[in-house]
Amino acid sequence: MYLVSSCLAGINCRYDGNNNENEVILKLVKEGKAIAICPEQLAGLPTPRVPCEIVVGKNGNKQIVNKDGEDLTEKFMTGAEKTLAVAKAIGIKKAILKSKSPSCGCGFIYDGTFSGKLIKGNGFTTELLIKNGVEVYTENDLETAAL
């Protein structure tokens, strides 16, 4: 069983109210081989919502702020923790999450300036899942995910 980002399964939960439907991911969900989850919705954030990015401070601390400057770090941590709880309850070992997202990004995330520039890093949910033994991939790594 895979854990997958809800937006990849065609659910309109992105910050802009849309989705990133991926046919392979949608098929996994329809076949009962994956469960779709949105950490941001689990945290109680609305859809649509103001775009958010991770800002890395000079001391290395990370926080998530929206484009209006509001600190939503605690909400994103809550979403990550709830996602981990679901993964543990089901025995999830692999996840396929949305690339570049402040929650689900894996390998690269936006740099916190809302300029579209990418930096190396992971979203909050991805970090927590990896720390707890879940292998995380993005929709760009479907062959590597050994589907």
Provide the pLDDT confidence category of residue 147 given band limits of 50, 70 and 90: low
pLDDT of residue 65: 97
pTM exceeds 0.85: yes
pLDDT digits (tens, 9 = 90+) for 18-60: 999 999 999 999 999 999 999 999 999 999 999 999 999 888 8
**Spatial contact of 3 and 83, defined as CB atoms under 8 Å apart:** yes
Longest dimension (CA), the chain: 45
> Quick one: tokens of 127?
């970090």
- Residue 11 pLDDT > 80: yes
145 or 73, which is more confident: 73
Residue 72's closest CA among 133, 9, 124? 124
The alpha carbons of the chain give a radius of gyration, in whole angstroms, of 14
Residue 145 has pLDDT above 80, yes or no: no
CA 81 to CA 95: how far, in whole Å? 15
Q: What is the tens place of the pLDDT at every residue in 102-134?
A: 999 999 999 999 999 999 999 999 999 999 999
